[in-house]
Amino acid sequence: MKKRVYSGIRATGRLHLGNYLGALKGMLALQDKYECIFSVVDLHTITVPYDPNTLKESVREIILDYLAVGLDPDKCYLEIQSKVPQHVELAYLLSTIYPVSRLEDLPTYKDKKAQYPKYVNMGLLYYPVLMAADVLLYKGELVPVGIDQEPHLEVMREIARKFNSMFGQTFPEPQRFKTEGEYVPSLTGKGKMSKSVEGSFITITDDFKTIRERLAAAPTDSGTEGGDLPKDSPVANLFTLLKLFVSDDVYKKFEQDYKEGDIRYVELKNVLAESIYKELKPIQDKRKEFLNNEKLVDEIIAEGIRKCTQMAEETIKEVREKMGFIY
């Protein structure tokens, strides 16, 4: 049997280069080799404040993004998490074997608590258990996601191990599939590119003008310092981004300019903007095609859900039996 791969993205707005390089590129690389399920995790989406009136549209946007970047429904299944209710059932069953204290200690939970002090809900605490259920429901072995998800992957493996030792070998221990761009820095010069930080990102549907404007706002330095590239600074961030989008030769040229203390950031940003747009343009064209073909997209979604439900039901049946639900 082919290895299974599972990944998901929350429907919280337009995908950006961090999602593209950290998750989508990994998905693309894996769809040729394995049995893949790529999901819009709408149940995870609602753990932070959201608008029910736009949820449907947001979910659809991610499906379109998936298709636009080249996820191919002939090679992988596209899923909408809530349409396969077995996720929730498995999450509940798994939650009974996992300690609350471990969930309270997770950095992702603490971050969200700090970010939304008035919205510390059970779903937020439960998030990693549902995520474990997402992958284990399909006995997924590889998970293409960004490096920030590693603590969640650890929880997933702990749950798999615990289940196996309590009820017999059932689940593999999923590993994260790493991509070259697993860490995409923020344009603000601090931290990583993030949907929730204004000015930090470039989305995959930004036009050339917008990309230029967003890059123009990214902080730099005087350009005359010279010497080795700084390790942790807005300029370091810019170079990390540059490396992900231009050839080695072009990168080395700018690095040399920096060392000699005569780098021109306007030129660097222009080259970077062009390279990013060159990569995004075909994606944007393809997205328009799908946008104009609603019926096809509906069919793709329906077929994904049908196949996923079949696979999910097999696992759930096995888990119910192993846990003693044999009446």
Interface residues toward ligand TRP, by CB under 6 A: 6-8, 10, 41, 44, 131, 134-135, 143, 145, 149, 152
The tokens describing 187, both together, are: 């344009």
The tokens describing 300, both together, are: 């793709």
To ligand TRP, the closest distance from the beta carbon of 96 in angstroms equals 20
**Based on CB atoms, which residue is closest to ligand TRP, 135 or 184?**
135
**Based on CB atoms, which residue is closest to ligand TRP, 135 or 272?**
135
- Rounded CA separation 212/276 (Å): 10
**Based on CB atoms, which residue is closest to ligand TRP, 50 or 208?**
50
**Based on CB atoms, which residue is closest to ligand TRP, 47 or 205?**
47
**Based on CB atoms, which residue is closest to ligand TRP, 135 or 244?**
135
Q: Residues 203, 257, 226, CA angle at the centre, nearest 5°?
A: 105
Q: Give the CA count within 13 Å in the CB-facing half-sphere of 158.
A: 15
Q: Nearest 5°: phi and psi at 52?
A: -60, -25
**Based on CB atoms, which residue is closest to ligand TRP, 34 or 254?**
34
To ligand TRP, the closest distance from the beta carbon of 163 in angstroms equals 17
To ligand TRP, the closest distance from the beta carbon of 291 in angstroms equals 24
To ligand TRP, the closest distance from the beta carbon of 287 in angstroms equals 21
Asked if 156 and 171 count as a contact pair (C-beta separation under 8 A), the reply is no
To ligand TRP, the closest distance from the beta carbon of 282 in angstroms equals 24
- Rounded CA separation 233/237 (Å): 6
To ligand TRP, the closest distance from the beta carbon of 100 in angstroms equals 19
Report the residue number whose CB is nearest to ligand TRP: 8
Place of tokens 């005359």: 224
Length of the chain as a residue count: 327
To ligand TRP, the closest distance from the beta carbon of 39 in angstroms equals 7
**Based on CB atoms, which residue is closest to ligand TRP, 124 or 268?**
124
The tokens describing 138, both together, are: 């399909």
Nearest to 155 by CA among 181, 169, 138, 134: 134
Asked if 20 and 96 count as a contact pair (C-beta separation under 8 A), the reply is no
What are the strands of the beta sheet with 142-144, ordered from one edge?
76-80, 35-40, 4-9, 142-144, 175-177
Asked if 194 and 115 count as a contact pair (C-beta separation under 8 A), the reply is no
Radius of gyration of the chain (CA): 21
The tokens describing 52, both together, are: 């029910």
**Based on CB atoms, which residue is closest to ligand TRP, 131 or 268?**
131
